[in-house]
Amino acid sequence: MTKIVITGASGKMGRSLIEATLAADPDYLLGATARPSSTLIGVDAGELVGYGHHSAPIANSLSEFLPKSPVIIDFTAIDATLLHLQDCIRHQCPIVIGTTGFSEADEALIHDASTQIPIVYAPNFSVGVNLVLDLLDRTARILGDSVDVEVLEAHHRNKVDAPSGTALAMGRVVAAALKRDFSKVAVYGREGQEGARPREQIGFATVRAGDIVGEHTVLFASEGERIEITHKASNRRTFADGAIRAAVWLGEKSPGLYGMRDVLDL
């Protein structure tokens, strides 16, 4: 049976991942980690989220768990994720990466690591979002260059990267379908007298406010009509459930870099 370790147990997403793992199958959860200074060190992860004792301790590092070859799920922060990635390489453990905001150099490190271990790396683990990505590809191919494309996204005030990884993924899917170079057509803000909007642009608008979990809309607008494809998340659990699904799937795979489209067989 797949064994799972959750990093970042003290965060909201970490706790959601623990809850989702226990809900899927209590036997999946091997343990979790938190910062060495955390008061959660030594606490049982099941008790932390109100599921009772599950013999799944919260440790101050992955070293306690890696010899048992678990699948690691990491939704922490860039620097921490890259350190955990190196730990996984040393112990040949698969890893599911949900952290966003990586630079091109960071993504190159993830790609290189995937030649040695199995990795699922995705900007969003929601099943619904990944179905939307599939729909965006089809819509863009059908509409072609007859529409203007804008991506609107909103998240809670504590999200550190903008636009979101999901918004960027949506833009890239549309750009690829329209055979455009995303790096040249993406526009991340407009101000002043910019003139008429070039058709080939893919614009991004970002909102950071309150406790918004995640909202994304891709707008396809032509003269006389528009199509809006929207996904709204009301609970982090939707991302957590997808990540658990990915971890169970990944436990049986050979080294490689996979996405949620692979997990869902889209």
Q: Give which of 126, 125, 142, 154 is closest to 216, Cα–Cα.
A: 154
SS3 call for 36: coil
pLDDT per residue of the chain (266 residues) written in tens, 0 to 9: 899 999 999 999 999 999 999 999 999 999 999 999 999 999 999 999 999 888 899 999 999 999 999 999 999 999 999 999 999 999 999 999 999 889 999 999 999 999 999 999 998 899 999 999 999 999 999 999 999 999 999 999 999 899 999 999 999 999 999 999 999 999 998 888 878 999 999 999 999 999 999 999 999 999 999 999 999 999 889 999 999 999 999 988 999 999 999 999 98
* pLDDT at 189 (0 to 100): 87
For 121, phi then psi, to 5°, come to -125, 120
159 is catalytic: yes
SS3 call for 257: strand
Hey, CA dihedral for 86, 71, 216, 198, is it positive or negative? Answer: positive
Report the distance separating Cα 234 and Cα 136, nearest Å. 21
| Catalytic pick among 54, 155, 216, 231 | 155
Residue labelled with tokens 């750009």: 175
* pLDDT at 47 (0 to 100): 95
* pLDDT at 68 (0 to 100): 95
Burial class, 109, CB count within 10 angstroms (exposed 0-12 / middle 13-18 / buried 19+): middle
Are the C-beta atoms of 258 and 119 separated by less than 8 Å?
yes
| Catalytic pick among 159, 179, 231, 232 | 159
Strand ranges for the chain from DSSP E = 4-6, 29-33, 58-59, 71-74, 95-97, 118-121, 148-155, 186-187, 202-208, 214-222, 225-233, 256-258
* pLDDT at 169 (0 to 100): 93
Predicted TM-score of the model (pTM): 0.82
CA distances from 59 to 8, 30, 152, 179 (A): 10, 11, 39, 47
Are the C-beta atoms of 195 and 98 separated by less than 8 Å?
no
Adjacent-strand bridge partners of 57: 44
* pLDDT at 254 (0 to 100): 97
Catalogue all structural domains in the chain, each as residue range(s) with its CATH number.
4-121+236-263 (3.40.50.720), 127-233 (3.30.360.10)
- Report the 10 Å Cβ neighbour count for 1: 8
Three-class secondary structure assignment of 96-112: EECCCCCCHHHHHHHHH
Element (H, E) at 173: helix 165-177
